[in-house]
Structure formats: C-alpha cells, structure tokens
Amino acid sequence: MIRKHFAGIAASALALAISAQAFAGTVTTDGADIVVKTKGGLEVATTDKSFGFKIGGRLQADYSQFDGIYTKNGDSADAAYFRRAFLEFSGIAFSDWLYNINYDFSHNSGSADDGYFDEASISYIGFNPAVIKVGRFDPEFGLEKATSSKWVTAPERNAFYDIIDWANGHQNGMGAQVSSTFGDSFYVSAGAFAKDNNDTDGDSNKQANLRGVFAPLHDAGNVLHFGFSAARRDVSDSAVDAQFRSRLGMRGVATTGGNDAGTNGNRVVFAGQSNTTTGLYDNDTALGLEAAWAMGPFSLQGEYMTRELKADTNNALYQDVEAKGGYVQVAYTLTGEARGYKLGKFDALKPANNQIGAWEVFYRFDSISVDDDSTRTPAQTVTLDSGDRDAKVHNLGVNWYANEAVKISATYVKASVDGVTNATGTTAASRTGDDDGDGFIVRAQYAF
C-alpha cells in the first residue's frame, strides 16, 4: 500500500513535467485528485491532504568587510561567500507523517563525515495537538533561533548565540522531541539529544532541552510574546569544544561557504578550551528568557541568556566558567507591513506592493560577559587577566523585501571588547592589539 501511494505521487509528478513540454495532454491519478502549486517552490498534494511533497530552498549570498578586533593583525579584510545554499524537500504521507530534509550545499551545516544536512527528520502528528519529532534537527532554544534564517531581521543572529551554540545546534547528532500547543496562546517543547562527541567509553554526549512560550497576542502586527528556554549537556570524561567564543556578528571571519578572511580572521575566544583534552569539565547548562512586542509595522524583541560550564576538578588551572548576555532589537517597516508571527516565532514579512517592495530598518544591541578565573597558557585573543571579559556589538541595517522571494540587506556592525584583544602576547602588558572593530555586510537572498 505504501509503495502504491508513493508510486502514484511520483507518476503524477512525472506526468506533469512531461505535459508541461506538450501542447495538450491528460493527467490521471489512482486516488484523490492532485493540486499543484508553483508559488514559492513546487508543491504537489492530494486534495484530501493525505499525501504531498514540496521542493523549496534558500540561497543567501554575502559580502562583508571588517577590521580591528575582527582580524588578527587589525587590518581590513573581506569575505565573499554563500551563507546558506539549502535545497529543501518536505512532505506528508498517510495524513499523520511529516518528513523534512534540508541539505546545505554551502557546507556551513554538518560535516564531510556526517553529511551537510541542516535537518533530516520525521514527525508524527496523529496525536494532535502534540507533535513527535525524531532525526537530525536543531534543539529548540530561544526566539531568534526558532525564527527561520529567511526571516530573522539581521543577517546573523545575536552574538551570544555563538557562546551557547551547542544549546540550539545539532552538531551532527540525533534527537527526539515532543511539542504541543495549548489553545491559541501556549506552546511547549521538550527534547533529548545524542551529540557526536563521545566520552572515554564511547558514549555520545547527552543533552536535554526545554522551551515554553506564552503569547496572549499572536497575530501579525499584534504580538505579545514571553518565553523561556533551558538546555543541559553532560561533558564529563569527554573531549568537547568548550570554548566561549563568538564571531561578534561577522560570519566572514571564519566560514566554509566560500572565501573568508583565512588565517587573519579572528573568531574571538573569551574563555574555555578546545576539544584537545579529556575530562576538564563536568556539565554545561544554558538558560534563557525571551520577550517580544509588535504593533503594526513596529516590533521590539529581546533575549537574556546565561551559560555555566562546571569544571570537573576545582584546581588552580581550570575553574567554572560563567557567561551572561543577550540582545535587544527594534525594527520598523517604513512601508507599513507587519512582520508575520506564528506561535513561538516570527515569520515572513510580505510586501503589500511588489513594485516597491517592503522597506525595513532595524537596530540591535548585543552583549556578552564572560567570567573565567582559570589560569593557563594564554591562547589567541585571551588575556592573562582573570575575571570578566566583555563584548558589545551594535547592528544597524536596512532590509528590502523586493517580493516574497527576494530580500536584499545591508548592515553596519561595530564591536568593542574588554579584557580581550586580537594580538598574542606572553604578558598582559604586551597585549596591545585592537579591542574594537567595524564591519558591514550585504546580502542577496532568494527563497522559494
């Protein structure tokens, strides 16, 4: 029976493709009638919505230039790269089973060993309103992460997300998640994940995530949103990447989608250690609060987050590392359109007039503060000083939504840091490198 239904869909899609090249023809099916949509990709589904599939994707081409803290020598560098080049295939089968496969041709997701998948998952929706999801996908943590990369306001999500990238990134692992809505205003999800780092026994690192949202107002242009997130992973007896580091809003310092700044790119390391030594730390915890308000073309949102990395042994070399920070963002659509919203996340901004498109201006302030009293040989961008190491990032930009598929962005980014520089040195006095930097990013996006 399964083969019969899928064969019917495949045969129908082939017949459609052939008939498109002919002057006349007939399409027949062995079941329910089929509806074909071509706006926003190719979508084929039965009229009863029991079976169907959609082919879509997104292409984001970036160019950026930056200096100061963003490069190791402080001089200007640039980068031209594909931030994302996704081919997306999703669908439904037997009314209750959903599948989603997103492959990243830019190679910014996944790895050569595990495949460059942004997502490969199966979901069961038969227990409405609960959804059970398994496979490779990002754990849920935070409002900006829940919002699709097609519709986040700035080119890069806030700088603190880099500090907790394990909390909302799949790192090539697998997971299972249960989520549900309650009425029109509540959403909750809980997930368990096995990441691809192993401990000394060969057991994968285990992680648990929880997110809850309350949105008493949940329509486009009329949003009031509150949420929280929590994530915890066990890293005992494991060689994991425990660095507290951030690109500070400038992906071009280190990316795999094309040309970046190469060896001169400076991905600022505030604390922690890379995955070279086993058993330095015990567990890792991240917590977050989120809020958003939107009225018409105006929107205001922010998140506050913390991370605590517990040392495996409390010795003179390795102590607990703590971080806190977040962002506040304000955006306004000059042409009057409202940002879309679905329970738990912002959605597409659709222009009312495709001749002039929709024009949006925004400002975001990011903050990072890391406290590390560990004593060790200084690594690049980490001073000998103990205590707080801070960063502040300003993002000012404009987005032009030419139509529902094309978006052009330009953003100016200014970063400043304290307790960290871009120059190496054996003593704090010898670290006389840059502690601030400027950059800009332009992006052309096509989503279908």
- 207 phi and psi angles, rounded to 5 deg: -140, 145
Residue 375 pLDDT > 80, yes or no?
A: no
Residue 430 pLDDT > 70, yes or no?
A: no
Mean pLDDT score, 37-61: 91
- pLDDT, position 384: 43
pLDDT range class, residue 38, cuts 50, 70, 90:
confident
Q: What is the mean pLDDT of the chain?
A: 88
Tokens of 31: 């079941």
Tokens of 422: 């871009």
Residue 152 pLDDT > 60, yes or no?
A: yes
Query: From residue 204, how far is each of 149, 220, 315 by CA, in Å?
Result: 28, 41, 26
Mean pLDDT score, 143-169: 96
Percentage of residues in the chain having pLDDT higher than 90: 69
- pLDDT, position 49: 87
- pLDDT, position 27: 65
pLDDT range class, residue 202, cuts 50, 70, 90:
confident
Residue 388 pLDDT > 90, yes or no?
A: no
Residue 276 pLDDT > 80, yes or no?
A: no
Q: Which of 78-92, 249-263, 278-292, 393-407 has the lowest mean pLDDT?
A: 278-292
CB 59 within 8 A of CB 446: yes
